[in-house]
Each structure stands twice: as structure tokens, then as C-alpha cells.
Amino acid sequence: MTLILAGSIRIAPERLEDLRPHLAAQVAGSRGEPDCLAYALTEDPLDPGLIRVFEHFTDEAALAFHRASPHMAAWRAACAELGVYERRMSSFDVSAYREI
């Protein structure tokens, strides 16, 4: 089984430029974790300030490791400082998946 998390966050469009270095640091740190299969924070091109979130981990232990990581703490602090809001996330337990 693997875990997929998907959702979105919002920031005022005028704060996007300030958020971008933190987006890059969070993605790089997360992708560097041993049991992170995929990680993306992507700006929506049609809705300024909307960031799409996609995370894929091998299991609950990998997600717990991710949540406790130093880059996650830095990400949370940056989000609070920059006024990120409207966090919406869902978690999916995936028993099987395949490329199509």
C-alpha cells in the first residue's frame, strides 16, 4: 500500500513571489526523503495564488518522517509568515496502482 495526498493551498497573489523560494525548498527537501515517491507544489496557471499539492509516500511511516522533517517545519513557518490560507488536503490509501 502507498499513500497519496492531494489538495491545495492559497496565498494572496501579490505574495507569490515571496513564496516561490519556499516552494522550491519544500519540494527539494521532500523529494530527497528516502520513501517519498513523488512530491509537487504547483502554481495553478488560471487561478493566481492557488497552489496544487501532490504527495506520494510508500507508507504511513514515510509520511510521519516527512511531517517531522526540518524542511517541513521551515515550510510551516514560511506559510504562516506569508499568510498561506485555505489549506485543503485529502489522503488516499492505494492498494494497487499502475502506469497507463
pLDDT averaged over consecutive 10-residue blocks of the chain (100 residues)? 96 98 98 97 98 97 98 98 97 90
CATH number of the CATH domain containing 72: 3.30.70.100
* pLDDT given for residue 1 in this prediction: 86
* pLDDT given for residue 18 in this prediction: 98
* pLDDT given for residue 97 in this prediction: 84
Residue with cell 509537487: 40
Domain limits for position 55: 2-89
Does residue 25 belong to any structural domain of this protein? Answer: yes
Does residue 97 belong to any structural domain of this protein? Answer: no
Quote the pTM value.
0.93
Does residue 98 belong to any structural domain of this protein? Answer: no
* pLDDT given for residue 43 in this prediction: 97
For helices 70-82 and 16-31, give the axis angle rounded to 10 degrees.
Answer: 170
Q: Are 15 and 83 within 8 A, CB to CB?
A: yes
Alpha-carbon distance of 12 to 66, in angstroms, equals 26
Does residue 95 belong to any structural domain of this protein? Answer: no
* pLDDT given for residue 73 in this prediction: 98
Does residue 49 belong to any structural domain of this protein? Answer: yes
How many domains are there within the chain?
A: 1
